[in-house]
């Protein structure tokens, strides 16, 4: 697969509006139901790359005080409209967020971690890890080595077997779902975002969904 010409790890804000509308039909991430059950306390949660707030709303309805973080102005607008006193919106890039230490009982990160530049991933992930309390829950999805975005000189973060082993040093994995797909539901959604970019019109996905508890 050709290397795509742009990455949203650069500074351009993407138009995620149509993606948000389409993914809205899907409801919240199913893994979150299980993840929430591992939380000793349902107090503070962080939703990284919160998008249309589908997961943020699920967390709010489960009694969490949620910080939603997203670079998209549309996500910020949706948060304003929601006007929930238990929601704090950080409208900016992950790298700009001042992660509090040992604060969150749950961190949710769906469809976002692979957008982090692979050379910066360890720095960002260390902040995510430190922001969780001991016993805190990470609910996240990654892309794996068989994904089409794992091309030579690519900059997207790929979760390798070695990285997974490293992750296991700090986290107890409660659930890991490793699966591959062509023309998946995600392809339909990505087409909405990357309309004019043929590289994104069809791709092979290698998803790795995890729920993990910080040791």
Contacts with ligand SAM, 52-71, as mask; x by CB under 6 A: x-x--------------xxx
Return the residue of 8, 88, 184, 187 that touches ligand SAM, per CB under 6 A: 8
Helices (H), the chain: 17-24, 31-37, 54-61, 73-82, 121-131, 161-170, 185-193
Return the residue of 4, 51, 136, 144 that touches ligand SAM, per CB under 6 A: 51
Q: How far is the CB of 3 from ligand SAM (least distance, A)?
A: 18
Binding of residue 115 to ligand SAM (CB under 6 A): yes
Handedness of CA 69, 70, 74, 75 (dihedral sign): negative
Q: How far is the CB of 206 from ligand SAM (least distance, A)?
A: 16
Return the residue of 110, 131, 133, 214 that touches ligand SAM, per CB under 6 A: 110
* 111 backbone φψ class: left, alpha, beta (φ>0; ψ -120 to 50): left
Please give the structure tokens belonging to residue 214. Answer: 């910080």
175-204 positions binding ligand SAM, by CB under 6 A:
none
Binding of residue 49 to ligand SAM (CB under 6 A): yes
């Amino acid at each position: 697969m050709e290397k795509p010409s742009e990455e949203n790890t650069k500074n351009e804000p993407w138009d995620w509006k149509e993606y948000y509308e389409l993914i809205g039909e899907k409801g919240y991430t199913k893994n979150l139901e299980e993840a929430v059950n591992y939380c000793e306390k349902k107090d503070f949660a962080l939703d990284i790359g919160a998008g249309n707030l589908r997961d943020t709303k699920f967390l709010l309805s489960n009694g969490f005080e949620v910080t939603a973080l997203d670079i998209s102005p549309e996500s910020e607008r949706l948060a304003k409209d929601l006007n929930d006193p238990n929601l704090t919106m950080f409208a900016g890039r992950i790298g700009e967020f001042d992660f509090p230490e040992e604060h969150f009982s749950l961190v949710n990160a769906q469809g976002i971690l692979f957008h982090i530049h692979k050379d910066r991933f360890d720095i960002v992930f260390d902040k995510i890890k430190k922001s969780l309390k001991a016993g805190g829950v990470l609910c996240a999805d990654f892309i794996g080595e068989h994904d089409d975005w794992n091309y030579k000189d690519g900059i997207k973060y790929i979760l390798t077997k070695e990285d997974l082993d490293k992750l296991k040093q700090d986290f107890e994995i409660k659930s890991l779902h490793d699966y591959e797909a062509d023309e998946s539901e995600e392809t339909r959604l990505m087409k909405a975002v990357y309309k004019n970019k043929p590289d994104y019109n069809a791709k092979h996905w290698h998803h790795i969904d995890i729920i993990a508890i910080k040791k």
